[in-house]
Amino acid sequence: MSYKLLCTDIDGTLLNADRELAPETISEFKRIKEGCTIVLASSRMPDAMRHLQAEVGIQSSPLIAYNGGLVLDGDKVLSSTEVGFAEVKKIAELSEGTAIHVSIYNNDEWFVPAMDYWANREASNTKVTPQVRSVAETLAAYGATNRGAHKVMCMGPAEEIAVLYASLIEQLNDDLHVYKSKDTYLEIASKKISKKSAIATLLQHKYPDLKWENIIAFGDNYNDMEMLEAVGMGVAVGNAKEEVLAMADHITTGNKEGGVAKAINKLM
């Protein structure tokens, strides 16, 4: 099969142990990029993906940010789906009085209450520097225009994250996709979107002649499963969750062993 579009998750899938693109990954991407569009699909904000695009020379390719909450084609917004302001406010209220750090994202805005352990860790991982502003100030600014967030990320002690997760599932499960990427991280987005819905947006607005079977995708976690199932070739890296490994069309080595590069070399 000749794949014309490649969609890949970033963290836990594409990046190595140093959270960087390995030389062999860059080499394989450069080898195929003229005949296959490479699209990064992540829970990250756009600015946290652009430096990776630049390393491979695919800055003109679309981006799927916030797990599908924002789909960009250059400066053009193809799709934007936010967590509503009322829900953002509720998340903040449920986090009050805890040690949980609440990060609020909209497009390339990232607001943190302080440059604490969590903010510094994310800044180091994503190579993006956030803006420091209290949650109350951010809510006031967003509330004035009834603006929502493409993502809310809550980070903190595992036991407090577990309590917040249970509260959000109980109170806001109909509206929000609450995803525990690790026991200290909650990533919260609209339930209306997914990486699969973002690819559908690309097919509708950017690549109308492309079929799902002409797409290859890579992932490791629960939020990748719909995407991997929908495409022609769904590839799980070796370190993926058991459920992801079980439904994948192909399993490659782990992200720390250059799994994406090895699969591209074998399948393309």
Name the percent of the chain lying above pLDDT 70. 100
- Mean pLDDT for the chain? 96
Angle at 46 between CA 45 and CA 47, to 5 degrees: 95
Domains 5-80+193-267 and 85-190 share a fold: no
Alpha helices in the chain (DSSP H): 23-32, 47-56, 85-95, 117-126, 135-144, 158-172, 195-205, 225-230, 242-247, 259-267
Domain covering 5-80+193-267 in this structure, CATH number: 3.40.50.1000
> Domain extents for the chain?
5-80+193-267, 85-190
Least confident of 75-79, 178-182, 216-220: 178-182
- Note the pLDDT tens digit of each residue in 60-81: 999 999 999 999 999 999 999 9
CATH fit for domain 85-190, picks 3.30.1240.10, 1.10.10.10, 3.40.50.300, 3.40.190.10: 3.30.1240.10
pLDDT at 157 over 80: yes
Q: Which residues does 241 contact at the CB level (< 8 Å), separation at least 6?
A: 220, 221, 222
Quote the tokens at residue 207.
């690549």
- Note the pLDDT tens digit of each residue in 8-61: 999 999 999 999 999 999 999 999 999 999 999 999 999 999 999 999 999 999
Q: How far, in Å, are 80, 108, 147, 151, 196 from residue 84 at the CA level? A: 12, 17, 7, 10, 21
- Note the pLDDT tens digit of each residue in 146-155: 999 999 999 9
Residues 195, 66 contacting (CB under 8 angstroms): no
Write the DSSP symbol of residue 158.
H
* pLDDT attached to residue 2: 87
pLDDT band at 180 (very low <50, low <70, confident <90, very high): confident
